[in-house]
Structure 1
Amino acid sequence: MIIIKHRQNLVEELAAAPNIYGVEVDLRNHGDKIVVFHDPFNDDAVTLDEWLREYKHSFLIANVKEEGLEPKLIHILEKHNVQEYFILDESLPYIRKFALGGLSKFAVRVSEIESAETALNLVSHLRQQEKKIDWVWLDSFTGNPLPQATIQALKAAGLKLCQVSPELHHVDRPDVWESMVEQFISQWGNAPANNIDMVCTKLPEIWHHYANR
């Protein structure tokens, strides 16, 4: 299981993150550059080129906060020889467009309100054109795991699964993060460890222990 440290937007955070982990980063257009920042209208944000000088990690989740920067983003990642990544938070039309063009490094969202059926329909549609996407972003707004049947159906379709750790929906409440993750894992049991390929979290040590127990 690949473990991703959530929102490593500051260069100092990235440099401090152990290389065995992957990282998630927020990206926006700013003139002719891509900058690393979660919220809009920040003139002090570091550029992606500068940020990538400190990137030495196992995997990158590029969370795009606006559509249309994909060609520029792909060029920058290729320039820095970043090969293990996926692009997150694209709409289905954009995912379809670039997947049909041959880029499979996208994650489609599945949650309690975003159906697995939609993801599977996209996979089926792309296969008819001999194309694909690689990843599913498994989210949970309730803090509870999605049904095992959903996870198994997505895996059977050849998709890799990235689980969103429940504390990411409560970033302003660090006092409850650990208990939320432990409750989530206790509901999961041991079964998903073989099916989940990645988890995005603010508490990588807990998930590392779970993945290696």
Structure 2
Amino acid sequence: MKVLSHRGYWKTVAEKNTPAAFERSFSLGFGTETDLRDLAGQLVVSHDPPARGALTADDLLAIHQRHDAALPLALNIKADGLQSLLLASLERLPQLDAFVFDMSIPDAIQWLKVGVPIFTRHSDVEPDPVLYSSSAGIWLDGFHGDWWDGAVIARHLDAGKRVCIVSPELHRREHRAAWERLANDGLPSDGTVMICTDLPEEAREYFGNDH
């Protein structure tokens, strides 16, 4: 199972979505999830409305390319209409394993039109993932509990989807029981299943497979 750090591999809250967190994540062989917005005509990394001086998406990609260019990037789209800005960066890196998720439905349709892979969310409050047939993968989430199991994941894999599981600690819940279920399910390690976590080194050690 591929491990993705959540907003980079940060050691303090202030490091989230910073160059230091991304350098640490990529240097240790983890992909990452991060947030994209626009600011003054530029694409920037920021979970909240960005301020001047925010890390640009191109700077993030430069850090990524200095390490393993095959490490996956999960790009959480926080504003509509970013297609042209991101495409300009992605077209320079045609082999990049990147996908977008969490945008509005009308905006998701625009991402599909320009050919950028999208992941649709399947969660306890979204039992019927939208745009399923057009999506490259599933962002498997649990807002109120860990409702999913190996059968849910297998169903998506059988439909030709990749799956990224949101680890419970991202919702401030204990993660060990869910991790144990995943380990017992014997999920593939070929990149079709990923986990997004605040504990990437612990996840790698626990699942005991490749990065």
Q: What TM-score, normalized by structure 1, do the two folds share? A: 0.80
- Considering fraction of residues, name the structure with more helix: 1
Find out whether 1:11 has 2:22 as its counterpart. Answer: no
Aligned-residue offset at 1:65: 0.8
For 1:65 and 1:133, the matched residues in 2 are separated by 18
Q: Which has the larger radius of gyration?
A: 1
Asked if the contact 1:61/1:86 (under 8 Å) is kept, the reply is: yes
Find out whether 1:34 has 2:43 as its counterpart. Answer: yes
For 1:74 and 1:25, the matched residues in 2 are separated by 17
Find out whether 1:72 has 2:90 as its counterpart. Answer: no
Where does residue 195 of structure 2 map in the other structure?
199
Report which structure shows greater RCO (CA 8 Å, sep ≥6): 2
Asked if the contact 1:104/1:133 (under 8 Å) is kept, the reply is: no
Aligned-residue offset at 1:19: 4.5
Where does residue 129 of structure 1 map in the other structure?
none
For 1:45 and 1:200, the matched residues in 2 are separated by 23
For 2:40 and 2:32, the matched residues in 1 are separated by 25
For 1:73 and 1:29, the matched residues in 2 are separated by 10
For 2:146 and 2:186, the matched residues in 1 are separated by 13
Gaps of 5+ in 2: 9-16
Find out whether 1:88 has 2:96 as its counterpart. Answer: no
Q: Which secondary structure state, in structure 2, belongs to the residue aligned with residue 74 of structure 1?
A: helix
RMSD: 2.3
Once the two structures are superposed, residues 113-165 of structure 1 have per-residue CA deviations (whole angstroms, 9 ceiling, x without a partner) of 111x334xx334xxxxxxx3211000011341414443232222111100001
User: What amino acid does structure 2 have at the position aligned with 1:5?
Assistant: S
Asked if the contact 2:76/2:102 (under 8 Å) is kept, the reply is: yes
Q: What TM-score, normalized by structure 2, do the two folds share? A: 0.81
Asked if the contact 2:83/2:114 (under 8 Å) is kept, the reply is: no
Where does residue 154 of structure 2 map in the other structure?
152
Distance 1:118 1:26, change over 3 A: closer
Q: Which secondary structure state, in structure 2, belongs to the residue aligned with residue 13 of structure 1?
A: helix
The percent of aligned pairs where both chains have the same amino acid is: 30
Aligned-residue offset at 1:201: 0.4
Once the two structures are superposed, residues 20-56 of structure 1 have per-residue CA deviations (whole angstroms, 9 ceiling, x without a partner) of 2101111110011011111104112121122322113
